[in-house]
Amino acid sequence: MAHPGLVWSNLHLQLGNLLLLCITETDLHAVIKKGSLLKDIHKRYILYQLLKATKFIHSGNVIHRDQKPSNILLDADCFVKLCDFGLARSLCQMEEEQSSPALTEYVATRWYRAPEILLSSRR
């Protein structure tokens, strides 16, 4: 999967030991902690990019399962990179593995869990 808003490597899936470094100025968690650094237009731009990146991975039947501010990298131009796909899963792969539930309850950081995980949805 290639998208400008993703830090993703197909080699990671094949090699397992690949270390991929993406140099950005900060992450969204640090920006939020600092306070009012962003104007409304910047917030909308960040959200727009994040939604585009999320739509892209969902179109490939992949779910991130750990989207949180510290996994959203930002550069000085407010360009977003979604990172940390360590908990990501392919929906196609999960459908093939019928012995395990599609969504486990304990994956994402507690405060950023999706409603379907909190409600123990099977799909």
- One-letter amino acid at 97 equals E
Spatial distance between the Cα atoms of 62 and 92, rounded to a whole number of angstroms: 8
Alpha-helix runs per DSSP H in the chain: 10-15, 28-34, 40-59, 91-96, 115-118
Coil, helix or strand at residue 15: helix
- What amino acid positions are annotated as catalytic residues? 66
- Strands 89-90 and 62-63 come out as antiparallel
Q: Which two tokens stand for residue 102?
A: 């599609």
